[in-house]
A and B are shown apart, each in its own frame.
Chain A
């Protein structure tokens, strides 16, 4: 049996990759993909804990997360599409309407 911390290390590596990617990339699509990676990092952690605790709860939550991620992808991509139509660009520095 593979020890649980292997999975956790994988999850942490994935999460940090997602975060760093989100912070340094300037492209909305890439950032969006990074968010998906972060979500999946959380999924890995949930599954790992579920397995080691031999409980189904973690797996159920993962299903929820996948559902939410799918919905989010739909909405997020639609938003990105609209941003592109407005700005003819999906670089984040071009969309800064909220600047104070």
Chain B
């Protein structure tokens, strides 16, 4: 019953085609029905295949369906083939389930938009690309999906392209991603040269068999990770994600929170053999992830734009996933990816609902006291915030704790401390967001207040479903202290993850670590409560006391400016210089010179063309005489 899994990406592909060709002429109702239906069918097939996968013994992983040979050139062969194994199953389920809910939500959110069909075409195309990414059985096809989601991301960030900032944000995302992709491509070429195949099974065998030197494995692992930092917005290539919030909110939820930005984590987990074999590469991943988790968390502290806070929070949470992958706990990293997909898309959609209520207002300084106006949005938002903050019994707690415990168990104490620090920041800025938006004094502008309203059911129902999953999703991966075999998620993924050296903690230590995470989460919430509800003057005092630090955080460490100064402007200046000197003088000069040279010779030769028959006849005669003379003598 598993053999129909290759249909999963094809259903949204078909729907994309129909919408792309006929979309403008179809009624809105039909477009919504088809776009959501396609993703839902994909979800059903994923679920069906997943149930089938449970019956397959782990020795048979992965199940590969080869559709046809796509490229065959010399020794190189790439197939259009999909595979299904536990990792793919998790990703496909997350993409289709969350994707479906976000599609439904979009029906309400985008209802008034002029480009309704363009939006759903791109959303379906994105779903298709993302599914190709997670289901590809070789790196080349995976790269196709990788670039496909990048393209959709670009198109959807710049969806309202009349707005200058949106068009620019789209370009920024695309260009920054290209930098990462260059690393990915080089890594892929190394694999192609030294392994001779890009099929994951062959790569795994080659690395496990030790046919690649240790240095080469590290190099490839780092190069692939460069690609992951671009797509998953990690240091140093994270700058595009906050700007990507220019896109419609469902896009932010689907692409820039739940699925696409986690593609880097998926890729690292898929290529886990590299990061297990090379401890250096693993440490690099863990440290970059940990530093990003704290760094992005600090930037979220001072932002006033509700979506930007969530964007920095996403960067920070993906940092956690990379910590998991870096310390060898791939299952924990993917587990966090899976829970994060629910609560972060919930938070984004709820933020979208707040914007919807406030006629597009994003600035939290102009909100406050919204609790009583938004009876459905508020509780769901709160659940999302509690889940991400890591309060016990909600999904975020289990996944974050699994990652931090693994980091501690592997002896990466530095990473662990950063992780704990990031957790305080997370719960603080999330509850700052909650208190500023929903509690306290109303700071809503009177004009906006007149139109304030709760969103329609088509938007609130997906919120409720996501909130439900944000609560329960964690229970398939319970911590080991509750029993030996309670972590079903870990066991499910175990057959395809290559274990490094195992490290076990005593039960006491585990409980201690859990206790620390709980205290940390609650501390963050308490500080936020104290700062923004109890004594709202405290933040202002702090700003006055540490103006430099505040400005540094508020301006996001001036990284955008630094990149602008270091990379963007020199590139522009250099391009202008090359344009001025080389392009105009040499390239244009060569082309124009060739033209005018030909013209000149033509002029000279045209003197022979007198237009008088007699001259031609004379030349003809001379020619005949010469030829005759040559023949005779």
Contacts and interface: CB of A to CB of B under 8 A. Distances in A.
Given A22-B614, A96-B611, A100-B608, 13 more contacts: A19-B621, A22-B617, A23-B618, A23-B621, A92-B614, A96-B610, A96-B612, A97-B611, A98-B609, A98-B611, A99-B609, A99-B610, A100-B609
Contacts of A19: 621
B606 interface: yes
Contacts of B609: 98-100
19 contacts: A19-B621, A22-B614, A22-B617, A23-B618, A23-B621, A24-B614, A92-B612, A92-B613, A92-B614, A93-B612, A95-B611, A96-B610, A96-B611, A96-B612, A98-B611, A99-B610, A100-B605, A100-B610, A100-B611
B381 to A, nearest CB: 83
Interface residues of A, number: 13
Interface in A62-100: 92-93, 95-100
Nearest to B609: A100
A3 to B, nearest CB: 22
B30 interface: no
Contacts of A22: 614, 617
Interface of A: 19, 22-24, 31, 92-93, 95-100
Contacts, number: 30
B601 interface: no
A39 to B, nearest CB: 15
A19 B621 CA distance: 9
Q: How large is the interface on B (under 10, 10 to 19, 20 to 34, 35 or more residues)?
A: 10 to 19
Interface string B593-620: 0000000000001111111111001100
Interface of B: 605-614, 617-618, 621
A99 B613 CA distance: 10
A24 B612 CA distance: 12
A72 B606 CA distance: 30
A27 to B, nearest CB: 11
Contacts of B608: 100
A63 to B, nearest CB: 25
A84 to B, nearest CB: 16
A31 B618 CA distance: 13
Contacts of A96: 610-612
B611 A99 contact: yes
Contacts of B621: 19, 23
Nearest to A20: B621
Contacts of A98: 609, 611
Contact of A100 (B607, B613, B614, B617): B607
Contacts of A92: 612-614
Contacts of B612: 92-93, 96
A92 B618 CA distance: 14
Contacts of B611: 95-100
A100 B606 contact: yes
Nearest to A24: B614
A100 B608 CA distance: 8
A99 B617 CA distance: 15
A4 B611 CA distance: 41
A93 B611 CA distance: 8
A1 B213 CA distance: 104
Nearest to B606: A100
A31 B605 CA distance: 27
A85 B614 CA distance: 21
A31 B616 CA distance: 14
Contacts of A93: 612
